[in-house]
Amino acid sequence: MTGPVIAIDGPAAAGKGTLARRLAATLGLPYLDTGLLYRAVGRRVLDAGGDPADPAGAAAAARALRPADLERTDLRGPVADAAAAAVASIPAVRAALLAFQRDFAVARGAVLDGRDIGTVIFPDATAKLFVTASLDARAGRRYAELAAKGGAVPLARVTEDMRARDAMDAARAAAPLRPAEDAVLLDTTALDPDAAFAAALALVEERLRPA
């Protein structure tokens, strides 16, 4: 590895995407949103008329994934959310996506956000953050995002969907969501985006400093 690898894990809508993107820009590193990989695999399965919970079809879609699939504009929203969560619980899908994620960081290092970056993909990452926020805070943020886009999903529904996805991500046998033992926890419940970024940057810079 020729550059630092920064692993940012945590549940949905904890703010890790925004943080990871800003960290990458500030540190001059490439950025990969690994959730997009699972979303794009789910979409490929749906395109082929398959069931995202079918291991053979989902694994074939994962092996066929191309970087251009990550540019699709239909990777967000409830259908893509559900398809991504389903394919993400299939070990053969996770195995097929492992090399893609490791290769991404080979040339210059990278900032990657996801669920298992610090535990499975890069256990030796230079810095590991586990970004969390309360369920209510995360659902409130997701609700505000949807409302800004003109969506009319009730807050109670957003909260319940998020609770269900949290449970799926944490309970699955393949790479369940959990902090790496050496991850630093960052709770963004009471932090605005700038305060969360300042805290994250300070933690990462501490790890990047030569011992």
Q: Is residue 68 packed enough to be buried (19+ CB in 10 Å), middle (13-18) or exposed (0-12)?
A: exposed
Name the minimum Å distance from CB 153 to ligand DC: 16
Considering only residues 75-114, where is the footprint of ligand DC by CB under 6 A? 84-85, 88, 114
CB 121 within 8 A of CB 66: no
11-70 residues in contact with ligand DC (CB under 6 A) are 12, 34-35, 38-39
Q: Which residues have CB under 8 Å from 183's CB, separation 6+? A: 7, 9, 118, 128, 129, 130
- Least CB distance from residue 133 to ligand DC, whole Å? 14
Taking residues 151 to 190 in sequence order and writing x for each that binds ligand DC by CB under 6 A, - otherwise, the string is: --------------x---x---------------------
Instruction: Tell me the residue nearest to ligand DC as measured from the CB.
Output: 35
Nearer to ligand DC, 62 or 116 (CB): 116
132 near ligand DC, judged by CB under 6 A: no
